[in-house]
Structure 1
Amino acid sequence: MPDGGARRTGIALTERQRIAWLRLIRSDNVGPATFRDLINHCGSAENALAMLPELSARGGATRAIRIATAEEAERELETARRQGARFVGIGEPDYPPALRQIDGAPPLLAVKGNLSAATRPSVGIVGSRNASIAGAKFAAMVARDCGRAGYVVTSGLARGIDTAAHRASLETGTIAVLAGGLDQPYPPENLPLLDEITDGPGLAVSEMPFGWEPRARDFPRRNRLIAGISLGTVVVEAAERSGSLITARIAADFGRLVFAVPGSPLDPRCHGTNGLLKQGAIVTTGSSDVIEALAPLSRLDLFSGPVVEEPEKTGGNMLPPDDDDRATIASALGPTPVEVDDIIRHTGLPPPSVYLILLELDLAGRLHRHVGGLVSLAMEK
C-alpha cells in the first residue's frame, strides 16, 4: 500500500506574495514556464511585475502589455474564499508533489475540498465520453480497487469513463481536474458530482480563473494536469482522435506509466486504446495490473522536485542584450519547434543572454512554447 502522503514539505506564501503571484500569472503572455523564468531573472514576482513593460518592449511588443492589478487579484482571492476554495503555490505543502516534477507546472492552483488528497499518490483514469456499459463498469472497478489500495483517483469530470471513475472513488478520495474555473464545471450536469467530491475526501483543482468558461483549447491543458498529478494513467476506452490519447501521450512525455485496456477491433471506442498497446502501453485486464506496476513508484520521494522560489536577492542585474543579439536569435528561430540548447549552439551567444531574449520575445507575444521545453517563433499575422 502506498504512503498516504503523510510527509508534507514546503514553505507557505505570504498574502502579499500570493497576490503578486496571482497578478503575474494572470498578466498577458505569462504562462507557467514564463512565470518561472521571470522569477529566476527578476528575483520575485513583485520585481517581475515592475519589469514586464520594459521586457516586453525590448522583445518587440507593438502595444503595452496588460498587467493584472492588485485589485483584480484580491477580488479573485475573495471569490475563492466565498466559494470555500483557495490558491496553493507550487512550493507550498498542499501542492500535488508529482505535479511539481513536470515542465510547465502551474505556479498556482485553485483548489477546493480535502487538501490531503493532493499529497497522496494518484492514478489517473480517463476514457470515452460515450462509454460502453462494459467500459464504465471496468473503469469503476479499477477506481474502486485503486482507492482501496490507497491511491487517489484523478480524472477530468467528463461524461462516461471519467464520471464512472469519480463515482467509484468518492469514499476513498478522487481529484476532479477542471478545464474552466472551479465555478464553471463541464459538463454542467456533473455539478452535483463535483459537490459530492469536494464535500467528501476528494478535491477539485483548476489553473484557470474563477468565472472562466472552458473552451476547446483548455481541455489539453487540463489533460496535462491529470497526467502530471498521476503516477500513471489508465485509458479505458478511447477513439483514435480523443482527448484521452492526448492525456496518455502527455503522461508518457512526463515519464509516467500508461495503461491501456484492450477492446474489440470492431468498436471505434477501442481503436485508440488498442493503438496505445501497439506503442508499448501496459496491457490492463484487471486492477492488479495497475496496482502492482504503480507500487514501486508510490514509494519514491516526490517532495524534492523543482519548485518556483523567490530568491532574497534582487534579480534583473544582468545587462540587457543588444539589438544585434536579438536579431540573431529571431533569425535563428522559425515556426518549427527547437530546443533552447540548439539555439545556444547555433548562435554562440551566452546562455543567460539567450534565455533573456527568449523571455523578452515571449512577453512580446512573439514566441510559442511547446511540450519538452521547445520554442518556436510566432508567425506575424
Structure 2
Amino acid sequence: MSASSLPASLPFGTLVACLRLARTEQVGPRQWHRLMGLYKTPEAALEALCATRRRPTGRGGKTLTPAPEADILREIEATLAIGGRFLTLLDAGYPAPLRHVPDAPVVLSALGDTACLHKAAIGIVGARNASAAGLRLAESLSTELAEAGLVVVSGLARGIDTAAHRGALHRRGLTVAAIAGGLDRPYPPENAALQARIAEQGAIITEAPLGTAPLGRHFPRRNRLIAGLALGCVVVEAAPHSGTLITARMACDYGRELFAVPGSPLDPRCRGSNDLIRNGAVLTESAADILPHINSLRAGLPPVWEDALPLLSRRLATPPPAPQLSTTALPAGQQVSDAGTATTEPECCATPSAHPARPAAPPPRTPTHPDPASEARGNVPQDILDLLSFTPIAVDDLIRRCQFSASAVLIALTELELSGRIITTVGGHVALAGGQAETRG
C-alpha cells in the first residue's frame, strides 16, 4: 500500500485498535504485519485475538492478551492534552523514510511539527561523555547541515546528541529528537528545557506510551528511530561496544550512508568511530564531506520524500571559499588557530588523521551559569579531564561548556598541568598529555 493511498488520519475506532495491538505484549512490527496479512484490518485482528485469547499464540506458548481499551482511551486523552498526536503505519502522515524499514514501529507518539519527519534528514550521534572538542564539532556540523536545509536527527542524550540539537536550533533549523521514554518523561532531566524547545521548532517522537520511564532496554528501539528517519548517520566519538555503534549498525542495515569523524587513536572515545572509517564509513570533518552524498542517497530511497532542500543545490554548486591565510607553510608541529595565528600542536596530535580537524568557530552560546553547589560536590579536575581530548581547545571555550566558574576551572587546569596530565599550547589552548585518555561512564 502506497502512502498516497492511505488516509490522512484514521477513524477513532481504528486508532484505538492499532494502539491496543501495539501495546500488546509480544506484538511487535513483524507480528503486526503477520496479523494484517491474516485479518486485513486492526479491528478484525483485535477481534480475532480477543476470541482466541485462551489459546497460546505468542512466542514461548504465551497467550496474546490485547491491552485494555480503558487504558488506551486514557493514553489517547492524556497525549492529546499535552498537544501530542499519534502516527500509525496506516496513516499517510507516518514518517516516509521510516515506513520502509523492516521493523518500523506500528505506532509513534509525536509532539511538535510532524511535517519535518518527512524532510531529508541526517542523524548525528556520539558519546555521552564527549570531549569538548567533539561537542564543538558536533554543534558546528549540525549548524552547517541545518543551514543547508537538512533536518538533524539525534537522541537527546547527554554529550554529542545535545550538541547536535543545539547546533541545529541555533539558526532556527529543524531538528528531531527520538527519545526512549514517554513524551512526558524528559531524559536526561537537565534536557527538559531543550526538549520543550525542540517541540516548538521541530519534533519529538517516541515509540513508548506516556509515563514510560526511559530504561536501558528501551534505547535500542530509540536508536532504530534515528537510523530509520535519516538518509545517513554521522558518528562523532564512539567507544567500542557503545550504544552509538548500535545506531551505526542499524543505519547500515537500513541501507543508509555512514559518516564518521576521525579522532585520536589514544582516546578511547574515538576508537569506535575510527574503526567505522577503517571499515568504509565516509571520513567527515565538516558538512562539505556530507552534502555531496545527499542527492545520491535520496535517489536510492522510495520516491516518497518531500523535496525540501531549497538551499542544498546552491550550497553544492558554490565551492567553499579559500581560507584567508598566508601561503607560507607553517613550521612542522604548528597549525592555524581559530584566530588565524599559528599555534604549536602537541607532538601526539601532529598527524592530521589522528584527530578531528578544528572546525569553524561555533555559534555563540550563552555561557552556562556557574553552579557553586556542583563545584562543592564534584571533582572539578576529573570533570575537566572528561571534557578534554588530545585535540587542543581554547580555555574560554572549555569554561563555556562547564558548569563551574572560571576561577574553579583555571585552578583545576593549573593542578592538572603541574601533575603532567594536560599540556598548554601557545594561544591559551589545552589538551590531554600523551597517554592520559581518561574517561568515565
Residue aligning to 2:11: 14
Aligned-residue offset at 1:29: 1.2
Instruction: Note the alpha carbon deviations across 1:164-219, whole angstroms, 9 max, x for none.
Output: 0001112111000010111112111101000011112x000001111000111111
2: CA distance, partners of 1:62 / 1:97 = 35
Q: What SS class does the counterpart of residue 147 from structure 1 fall into?
A: helix
Name the CA shift for 1:303/1:87 in 2 (closer, same or farther; >3 Å).
Answer: farther
Question: Is the contact made by 1:8 and 1:119 (CA closer than 8 Å) also made in structure 2?
Answer: no
Q: Helix, strand or coil for the counterpart of 2:181?
A: coil
**What 5-or-longer segments of structure 1 have no aligned partner?**
1-6, 306-381
User: What's 1:331 paired with?
Assistant: none
Alignment match, 1:69: 68
Tell me how far apart the structure 2 counterparts of residues 272 and 63 of structure 1 sit (CA, whole Å): 39
Number of aligned residue pairs: give it: 298
After TM superposition, give the deviation of residue 297 of structure 1 in Å.
Answer: 2.1
Normalised by the length of structure 2, the TM-score is 0.65
**Please, what is the CA RMSD of the aligned residues?**
2.0
Q: How far 1:295 moved relative to its partner?
A: 2.5
8 A Cα contact 2:57 2:63, kept in partner: no
Deviation at 1:122, TM superposition (A): 0.7
3-state secondary structure, aligned to 2:111: strand
Q: Does 1:213 align with 2:210?
A: no
For structure 2, the 5+ residue unaligned runs are 306-441
- Over residues 97-141 of structure 1, what are the superposed CA-to-partner deviations in whole Å (9 max), with x where a residue is unaligned? 110110110121100001221111110000001111111111111
Aligned equivalent of 1:309: none
Counterpart amino acid of residue 108 in structure 1: V
Distance in 2, Cα, partners of 1:56 & 1:252: 41
> Which SS does the other structure have where 2:48 is aligned?
helix
1:232–1:69 Cα change, 3 Å: same
How far, CA to CA, are the matches of 2:269 and 2:4 in structure 1? 40
Match of 2:99 in 1: 100
Residues 56 and 64 in structure 2, CA contact (< 8 A), matched pair in contact too: no
| Cα distance change on mapping 1:134 and 1:231 into 2, 3 Å | same
Aligned to 1:185: 186
Find the structure with the greater CA-based Rg. 2
- Other-structure match for 1:371: none
In the alignment, does 2:33 pair up with 1:36? yes
Tell me which residue corresponds to 1:47: 44
Question: Superposed, which structure 2 residues align to 1:150-299 within 5 Å?
Answer: 150-170=149-169, 171-200=172-201, 202-298=202-298
Structure 1 position 298, deviation (Å): 3.1
User: 1:338-369: CA deviations, max 9, x gaps?
Assistant: xxxxxxxxxxxxxxxxxxxxxxxxxxxxxxxx
Percent identity, aligned pairs only, is: 43
How far is 1:299 from its partner?
5.0
8 Å CA contact retained: 2:116, 2:203: yes
SS at match of 2:194: helix
Conserved? CA contact 2:182–2:209, under 8 Å = yes
Cα distance in structure 2, aligned partners of 1:75 and 1:30: 20
CA-CA distance at 1:42 after TM superposition: 1.1
2-side partners of 1:274 and 1:144: how far apart?
23
Change (3 A) 1:55 1:276: farther
Shift of 1:14: 1.2
- Which whole-Å deviations, capped at 9, do the CAs of 1:263-284 have from their partners, x for residues lacking one? 0000111000011111111111
Counterpart position of 1:110: 109
Higher relative contact order (CA 8 A, sep 6+): 1
Q: Aligned to 1:123, what secondary structure does the other structure show?
A: strand
Counterpart residue type for residue 187 of structure 1: P
* Local SS of the residue matching 2:266: coil
Q: Is the 8 A contact 2:180 2:208 kept in 1?
A: yes
TM-score scaled to structure 1, two decimals? 0.74
CA 1:255–1:62: 2 relative to 1, 3 Å:
closer
Query: How many Å separate the matches in 2 of 1:145 and 1:124?
Result: 13
